[in-house]
Amino acid sequence: MALWFEGGTHLDSDLGKVEGTVVAEYRGDHCETGRCCTVPRPLSRRVLLSRSLIDELRCTGHAHWRGESLLVLRPDHVAGHAARAWIFQLFAVRWREAGDPGVPDPELVLGVWPD
């Protein structure tokens, strides 16, 4: 999946505009369950995820694989609200410039809500 900066202002992909980057925080004082996983901003249809974040979420039980390319995220809270599960199909990415087929990025993947 190719990524590029469109007009220098936003990130675009072969599947459309990338709408955010998933960031997760672990907080020990947030709720009565103890350490919880919070995602400070709402998740959107097309997001970038780092492979190290995916590994961390899987190790703490806040994400798991469904099949080979579907990732189920289950943080405790998203944007201050109780969370539910989000399913993303993951695609390897490469950075493209004009006329260039792209350079693979070993750390990032594009997560897209499957239709």
- Please report whether residue 115 resides in a domain: no
Note the pLDDT tens digit of each residue in 8-49: 788 999 999 999 999 999 887 767 767 789 898 888 999 999
Where do runs of H (alpha helix) occur along 8-91? 51-59
- Please report whether residue 61 resides in a domain: yes
- Please report whether residue 60 resides in a domain: yes
Using pLDDT thresholds of 50, 70 and 90, give the confidence band for residue 109. Answer: very high
Note the pLDDT tens digit of each residue in 75-84: 988 887 777 8
| DSSP letter, residue 61 | T
Structural domains counted in the chain:
1
104: containing domain? 1-110
Would the pLDDT of 98 be above 80?
no
